[in-house]
């Protein structure tokens, strides 16, 4: 779905619908009457944010199935007269059914990308009712992927079925390691455009000053003006070839942005953009013709109370910590992050690998996810194609790439991503197979992205064995003649737990683990980056492997540094 982020400017109005909405818990089937008629006796719920932790209530925390949001809204009908009026959701997790004044407006599957629907002027009243049903269930056809049940310890239990049928409540079994925070996680807007309007924009520059500036404009031809600050430096028809002599380049940690202003009839829209080129040449990842070494993190959108809801102050804080620790990049593990975060990274010069929500894919989900996976790739690239901060697309995290279907599943997606991206950025799939010799996908990607947990899940507590295992694996991957990025490696460290023996779960072990890994990485010139797992501690499902969440953070969930933060800060001030 092509759409532009709602913008307030001289041609467009933008009305925020964020705030406290009415809320009602539902069950496993959709109750259409709640959407048609609205509901009374309601709970309050903040939008945007996940609903799970907004109340001190375990049943809401663990809710399974639908919830309903509603709000009344008064609209300035005079101001909307003659305009196109659109309702825009930045992200509803994982799927939404939207009604406006009792009539179905739209529905959307996928919890991390925007969707919108035009409001019919004849349907607009001064006082309107907006109702939204949100489903948090994950299964083998959703991204991220869910399982039907937990087989693990129930196998072989003689009376398992009777316990299951009587006491086990229906719940999600995520096939991914982050808490399934759901709800209206990002902002909701009503915006207007003139009737003749710009529906899509492509704009970027390369390191030589060539500009691609195109606009889809209903009912006319668009013009484009390029600004350096307040100064107009170029002007032409959208789609014409434009070139700026000696542009200031967008560089990692030294960003420079120009603005492209598109005009079509009465409509206008501005996009900040940068001049930068990305290329994979041999074993190097080049940004603006120079080798770039990724230093940074896999992250999450995760925080106390907000859950996975957008938190702009936290985004600013995280970027400042990324700079404090001398890193330069992160991956949007394991789903597309908010547009606000990407715009921030454009401004701050943080390099981003943008990932889809395809996490937890296995042979079973390949058949049921294919079409949705294609939609997510198309929609993510349509939304994010202009951002200079994004230098690579990741199709998935840790799918089963040993199984027979894997190659035939991923290669069409790889081609699709390339064909959707006007900048033709490199495309990867992040893998983590136990037997790397059997991987059918990673070496076919532009960059090999590998997650590795030697010293934790394999050879836990033994950094010498971990280093040797990593060394063996890197020798194997070196033969492909492509760059490799270690996109995850890490050890849980419970903040405040120390030991002179550097045992697992202590802050000391986390440091020893990174020292061992990094000493191996430093021996291989085809290693194009190290992104540690994870930036900060984060919430997960309960389980034997998790101590109140995943503690592989270099920072705590509150963003306080662990010992390893000081070690990495020093290393990253010295390395490459």
Catalytically active residues are: 398, 488
Within 471-510, the residues that bind ligand GCB by CB under 6 A are 488
Counting contacts by CB under 6 A, is residue 550 touching ligand GCB?
Answer: yes
What is the Cα–Cα distance from 278 to 249, expressed in whole angstroms?
12
Q: Which of 350, 348, 349, 338 is nearest to 384 (CA)?
A: 338
* Residue 140 sits in the site that holds ligand GCB (CB under 6 A): no
Q: With respect to ligand GCB, which residue has the nearer C-beta, 350 or 539? A: 539
Count of CA atoms in the C-beta half-sphere (13 A) of 573: 8
Nearer to ligand GCB, 176 or 477 (CB): 176
Q: Does 271 bind ligand GCB (CB under 6 A)?
A: no
DSSP 8-state secondary structure symbol assigned to residue 564: H
For tokens 């710009």, the residue is 198
Pairing status of strand 267-273 against strand 183-184: unpaired
- Judged by CB under 6 A, does residue 329 bind ligand GCB? no
Closest CB to ligand GCB among 94 and 551?
A: 551
Sign of the alpha-carbon dihedral angle for 5, 539, 95, 60: negative
When binding is defined by CB under 6 A, the residue of 15, 201, 432, 527 that contacts ligand GCB is 432
Based on CB atoms, which residue is closest to ligand GCB, 11 or 550? 550
| Side-chain half-sphere CA neighbours of 278 within 13 A | 25
Q: ∠ CA(263), CA(269), CA(275), 5° rounding?
A: 100
Contact 375, 110 (CB under 8 A): yes
What is the CA 370 to chain-centroid distance, rounded? 19
Structure-token match 């409509």, residue found: 267
Q: Is 392 a residue that touches ligand GCB (CB under 6 A)?
A: no
Residue 394 interacting with ligand GCB (CB under 6 A):
no
Q: How far is the CB of 490 from ligand GCB (least distance, A)?
A: 6
- Position among 181, 509, 533, 567 found at the interface with ligand GCB (CB under 6 A): 533
CB closest to ligand GCB, residue no: 177
Helix (H/G/I), strand (E/B), else coil: 555: strand
What are the b/e assignments for 89-100, b being 16+ CB within 10 Å? bbbbbbbbbbbb
Nearer to ligand GCB, 337 or 533 (CB): 533
Choose, by CB under 6 A, the member of 397, 401, 429, 463 that binds ligand GCB: 397
53 part of the interface to ligand GCB, by CB under 6 A: no
Alpha carbons within 13 angstroms on the beta-carbon side of residue 417 total: 25
Shortest CB 539 distance to ligand GCB, Å = 11
Closest contact distance (angstroms) between CB of 30 and ligand GCB is 30
Residue with smaller CB distance to ligand GCB, 134 or 539: 539
d(CA 70, CA 569): 46
Neighbours of 178 (CB within 10 A): 22
- The residue from 398, 400, 473, 537 that contacts ligand GCB (CB under 6 A) is 398
Report if residue 357 touches ligand GCB, rule: CB under 6 A: no
Q: Is 552 in the site for ligand GCB (CB under 6 A)?
A: yes
Please give the size of the binding site for ligand GCB, defined by CB under 6 A.
Answer: 10
- Tell me the C-alpha distance between 188 and 46, whole Å: 12
C-beta of 54 vs 93, nearer to ligand GCB: 93
Largest CA distance in the chain: 76
Report, in Å, the least distance between residue 360 CB and ligand GCB. Answer: 9
**Is residue 354 a contact partner of residue 391, using CB atoms and an 8 Å limit?**
no
Residue span 23-42 as binding mask against ligand GCB, x where in contact by CB under 6 A, dash where not: --------------------
93, 136 in Cβ contact below 8 A?
yes
Within 141-180, the residues that bind ligand GCB by CB under 6 A are 177
Where do contacts with ligand GCB occur on this chain (CB under 6 A)?
177, 334, 397-398, 432, 451, 488, 533, 550, 552
């Amino acid at each position: 779905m092509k759409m532009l982020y709602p913008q307030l400017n001289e041609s467009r109005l933008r009305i925020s619908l964020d705030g406290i909405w009415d809320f009602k818990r539902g069950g496993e089937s959709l109750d259409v009457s709640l959407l048609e008629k609205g509901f009374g006796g309601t709970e309050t719920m903040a939008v945007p944010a996940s609903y799970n932790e907004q109340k001190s209530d375990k049943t809401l925390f663990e809710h399974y199935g639908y919830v309903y949001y509603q709000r009344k809204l008064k609209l300035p009908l005079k101001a909307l007269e003659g305009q196109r009026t659109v309702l825009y959701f930045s992200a509803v997790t994982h799927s939404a059914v939207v009604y406006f004044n009792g009539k179905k407006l739209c529905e959307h599957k996928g919890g991390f990308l925007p969707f919108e629907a035009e409001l019919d002027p004849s349907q607009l009243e001064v006082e309107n009712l907006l109702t939204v049903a949100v489903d948090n269930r994950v299964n083998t056809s959703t991204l991220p992927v869910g399982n039907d049940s937990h087989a693990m310890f129930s196998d072989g239990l003689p009376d398992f079925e009777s316990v299951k049928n009587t006491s086990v409540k229906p719940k999600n079994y995520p096939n991914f390691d982050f808490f399934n925070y759901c709800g209206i996680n990002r902002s909701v807007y009503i915006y207007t455009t003139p009737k003749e309007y710009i529906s899509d924009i492509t704009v970027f520059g390369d390191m030589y000053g060539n500009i691609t500036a195109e606009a889809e404009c209903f009912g006319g031809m668009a013009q484009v003006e390029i600004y350096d600050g307040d100064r107009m430096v170029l002007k032409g028809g959208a789609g014409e070839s434009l070139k700026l002599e000696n542009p200031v380049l967008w560089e990692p940690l030294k960003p420079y942005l120009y603005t492209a202003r598109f005009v079509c009839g009465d409509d206008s829209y501005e996009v900040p953009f940068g001049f930068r080129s990305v290329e994979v040449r041999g074993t190097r990842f080049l940004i603006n013709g120079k080798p770039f070494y990724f230093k940074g993190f896999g992250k999450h959108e995760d925080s106390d109370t907000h859950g996975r809801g957008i938190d702009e102050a936290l985004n600013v804080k995280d970027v400042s910590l990324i700079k404090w620790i001398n890193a330069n990049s992160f991956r949007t593990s394991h789903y597309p992050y908010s547009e606000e975060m990407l715009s921030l990274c454009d401004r701050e010069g943080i390099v981003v690998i943008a990932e889809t929500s395809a996490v937890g894919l296995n042979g079973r989900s390949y058949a049921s996810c294919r079409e949705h996976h294609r939609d997510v790739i198309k929609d993510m690239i349509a939304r994010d194609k202009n951002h200079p901060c994004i230098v690579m697309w990741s199709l998935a995290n840790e799918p089963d790439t040993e199984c027979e279907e894997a190659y035939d599943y991923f290669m069409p997606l790889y081609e699709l991503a390339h064909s959707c991206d006007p900048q033709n950025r490199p495309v990867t799939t992040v893998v983590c197979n136990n037997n790397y010799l059997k991987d059918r996908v990673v070496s076919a990607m532009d960059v090999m992205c590998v997650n590795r947990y030697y010293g934790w899940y394999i050879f836990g507590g033994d950094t010498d064995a971990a280093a040797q295992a990593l060394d063996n694996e890197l020798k194997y991957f070196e033969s492909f003649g492509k760059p490799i990025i270690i996109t995850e490696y890490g050890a849980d460290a419970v903040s405040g737990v120390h030991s002179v023996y550097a045992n697992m779960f202590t802050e000391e072990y986390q440091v020893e683990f990174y020292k061992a890994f990094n000493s191996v990485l430093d021996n291989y010139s085809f290693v194009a980056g190290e992104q540690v797992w994870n930036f900060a501690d984060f919430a997960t499902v309960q389980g034997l492997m998790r101590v109140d969440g995943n503690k592989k953070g270099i920072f705590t969930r509150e963003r306080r540094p662990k010992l390893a933060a000081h070690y990495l800060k020093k290393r990253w001030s010295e390395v490459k």
